[in-house]
Amino acid sequence: MPSGRTHDRITLWSLPWIVLLTLSLTRDGMLTLLVSAAYLFSGLMFGPDLDIYSVQFKRWGGLRWLWIPYQKVLKHRSRLSHGFLIGTVLRVLYLGIILLLVGMVGIAIAQLIGGFAWNWQTSAQQAKLGLSHYRAEAIALFVGLELGAMSHASSDWFGSTAKQVRRKGVGSLFTRKPKKRRKSRRKR
Ligand SMILES: [Zn+2]
């Protein structure tokens, strides 16, 4: 499995290709910027390795605690963090729910102190309207995030496959692993 630094290098070296590819496909500067920025963000701090104490996790600085429940629930390199689409979808939902909760608490406190008017229904409608209005931009952001995650997951896969070939030879790729026996549950 490549180190955090190798993952960073792969992200940075592949960025110009992502820019060129997106620009040639979309012919749109704004969408290219969004895909590239999301790709960089995903590669450097929003990637699959948030499921472990990693460089990506450390880059969240004072906010890194946000990812502790995520790490507690997911096993490192599980399909739910490293899998195609599902990894990014879950991370986006996870962060979205946390931001929503923080926002709700913040608004509730501000309402108590300042007593300003806030209507959840209107805000939800506005958010929905905004999302439908900026659909292309939202898709571009998601595509960038997913590309960053997939660049990570595929280099993980190449790294461990190369290691296996070096250790056990090419033939080991075609032999089935023996099934692990389930641990018997301890009596409580
Ligand atoms: Zn990984």
Whether residue 36 contacts residue 15, with contact meaning beta carbons closer than 8 Å, is answered with: yes
Report yes or no on 124 lying in a domain.
Answer: no
Structure tokens at 7: 């993952």
Contacts 24+ apart (CB under 8 A), 54-57: 54/4, 55/4, 55/5, 55/7, 55/8, 56/4
Whether residue 84 contacts residue 150, with contact meaning beta carbons closer than 8 Å, is answered with: yes
What is the Å distance from ligand 1's center to 82 Cα? 7
Report yes or no on 183 lying in a domain.
Answer: no
What is the Å distance from ligand 1's center to 81 Cα? 8
Point out the least confidently predicted range of 2-6, 79-83, 116-120, 129-133.
116-120
Number of folded domains that form the chain: 1
What is the Å distance from ligand 1's center to 96 Cα? 22
Report yes or no on 11 lying in a domain.
Answer: yes
Report yes or no on 120 lying in a domain.
Answer: no
Is the model's pLDDT at 187 over the cut of 50?
no
Report yes or no on 43 lying in a domain.
Answer: yes
Task: Kindly report the pTM of this predicted structure.
Answer: 0.82
What is the Å distance from ligand 1's center to 15 Cα? 19
What is the Å distance from ligand 1's center to 156 Cα? 6
Report yes or no on 126 lying in a domain.
Answer: no
Tell me the pLDDT tens digit for each residue of 141-162.
999 999 999 999 999 898 888 8
Report yes or no on 75 lying in a domain.
Answer: yes
What is the Å distance from ligand 1's center to 94 Cα? 18
Residues having C-beta closer than 5 Å to ion ligand 1? 48-49, 156
Whether residue 159 contacts residue 56, with contact meaning beta carbons closer than 8 Å, is answered with: no
Report yes or no on 46 lying in a domain.
Answer: yes
Give the domain range for residue 85: 4-97+136-164
